[in-house]
């Protein structure tokens, strides 16, 4: 229940109490007002309870979807309906989410036209995801492009629009959007990932690495940046590090609108962990940067020898700083030849007993 109702109902009770109506009429009106208050409270309670459980669950329970549907049928405010649509798109029947958004977008403005138009823009940005889910990337781009051309701007518009054009391979539009959203980048993990993704696609591997080093300090919960970082590591042949980043991607939060799916990540981990497919997979990933970045498995070539090496040969040379770090790591793994003659202590130190 919003703040308006807190004042409306007591005021209505007082007005009824001091009115010249007969006592029976007053009691009847008070009962009606009380029932309306209970109805509004009930639908708000159903909405809050259902939306909280659905948002927190990996796989929401049907009883929570039933609660949300009941609250929607009772009539929710516009903002709650848009939030409900988002839950359906992320974790449920996305076509139902689209239907809710369609109704919001086509509804008359009412008293507050400016507020309604802002909600319509939010709904259109969200509805673009249903086009994407339906395999209509161009439709998704057209939807957000129309919102953009109207002059509306917010973080989600930039994230969605950039993501779509990067997937499309329209680097010119992506660059323009990233430049315009640069002032919002610090507070948006999605925009930061899009920027680093763009840098990868344009071959600016070192700059992408530096940006991800900053991003990961903020502990992103979606899988894309971890997969993209694994791609960077494989570009330099750092297979063990790439697998480590992919393992982190496996633990990320996945929804229907995740561009990268968990089974894709698990498949990559399995191929890179298997000595017989390690080198071939690394070569395939590095040769299909744009494809892998959106969660599509590249064709794995034949004819590469098996290897168990953590650092693979035949890839881009490491930047100097990273090469020094890898060298230090390698040196730490080598036996210390400046040991005492105590063989037992040597064996203990290196776990060789």
Residue-wise pLDDT tens digits, 262-290 = 999 999 999 999 999 999 999 999 999 99
SS3 assignment, position 311: strand
Question: Percent of the chain at pLDDT above 90?
Answer: 72
What is residue 59's predicted lDDT score, i.e. its pLDDT?
93
Q: Please state, in angstroms and rounded to a whole number, the distance separating the CA atoms of residues 64 and 42.
A: 15
Mean pLDDT of 87-102: 97
Q: What is the mean pLDDT of the chain?
A: 86
Q: Please state, in angstroms and rounded to a whole number, the distance separating the CA atoms of residues 302 and 300.
A: 7
Query: 143-149, long-range: CB within 8 Å, 24+ apart, which pairs?
Result: 147/121
Does the structure show a pLDDT above 70 at 25?
A: no
What is residue 47's predicted lDDT score, i.e. its pLDDT?
87
CB 57 within 8 A of CB 92: no
Q: How far is CA 230 from CA 90, 148, 179, 327, in A?
A: 25, 32, 25, 19
Report the DSSP beta bridge partners of residue 311. Answer: 238
Lowest mean pLDDT among 62-66, 270-274, 322-326: 322-326
Q: How far is CA 139 from CA 90, 103, 168, in A?
A: 18, 19, 12
Q: Please state, in angstroms and rounded to a whole number, the distance separating the CA atoms of residues 247 and 324.
A: 25
At residue 110 the predicted structure's pLDDT band, cuts being 50, 70 and 90, is confident
Does the structure show a pLDDT above 50 at 351?
A: no
At residue 322 the predicted structure's pLDDT band, cuts being 50, 70 and 90, is low
How many separate helices (H) and strands (E) can be counted in the chain?
18, 0
Q: Please state, in angstroms and rounded to a whole number, the distance separating the CA atoms of residues 229 and 197.
A: 9
At residue 116 the predicted structure's pLDDT band, cuts being 50, 70 and 90, is very high
At residue 320 the predicted structure's pLDDT band, cuts being 50, 70 and 90, is confident
Q: Please state, in angstroms and rounded to a whole number, the distance separating the CA atoms of residues 271 and 279.
A: 9
């Amino acid at each position: 229940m919003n703040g308006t109702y807190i004042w409306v109902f007591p005021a209505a009770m007082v007005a009824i109490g001091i009115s010249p109506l007969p006592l029976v009429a007053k009691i009847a009106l008070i009962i009606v007002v009380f029932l309306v208050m209970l109805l509004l409270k009930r639908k708000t309670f159903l909405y809050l309870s259902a939306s909280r459980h659905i948002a927190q669950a990996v796989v929401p329970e049907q009883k929570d979807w039933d609660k949300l549907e009941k609250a929607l049928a009772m009539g929710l405010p516009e903002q709650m309906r848009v939030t409900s649509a988002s839950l359906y798109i992320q974790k449920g029947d996305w076509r139902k989410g689209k239907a809710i958004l369609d109704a919001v977008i086509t509804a008359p403005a009412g008293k507050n036209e400016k507020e309604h138009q802002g909600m319509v823009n939010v709904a259109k940005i969200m509805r673009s995801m249903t086009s994407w889910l339906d395999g209509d990337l161009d439709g998704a781009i057209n939807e957000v492009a129309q919102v953009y051309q109207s002059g509306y701007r917010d973080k989600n518009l930039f994230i969605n629009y950039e993501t779509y054009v990067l997937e499309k391979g329209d680097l010119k539009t992506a660059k323009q959007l990233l430049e315009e959203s640069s002032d919002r980048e610090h507070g948006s993990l999605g925009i930061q990932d899009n920027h680093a993704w763009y840098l990868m696609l344009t071959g600016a591997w070192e700059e992408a690495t530096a940006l991800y080093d900053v991003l990961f300090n903020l502990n992103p919960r979606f899988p894309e940046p971890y997969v993209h970082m694994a791609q960077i590591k494989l570009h330099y042949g750092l297979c063990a590090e790439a697998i480590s980043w992919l393992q982190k991607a496996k633990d990320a939060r996945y929804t229907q609108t995740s561009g990268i799916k968990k089974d894709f990540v698990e498949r990559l981990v399995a191929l890179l962990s298997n000595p017989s497919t390690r080198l071939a997979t690394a070569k395939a990933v590095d040769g299909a940067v744009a494809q892998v970045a959106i969660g599509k498995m590249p064709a794995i070539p034949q004819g590469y020898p098996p290897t168990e090496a953590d650092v693979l040969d035949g890839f881009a040379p490491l930047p100097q700083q990273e090469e020094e770090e890898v060298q230090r790591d390698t040196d730490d793994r080598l036996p210390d030849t400046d040991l005492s003659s105590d063989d037992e202590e040597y064996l203990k130190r290196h776990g060789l007993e």
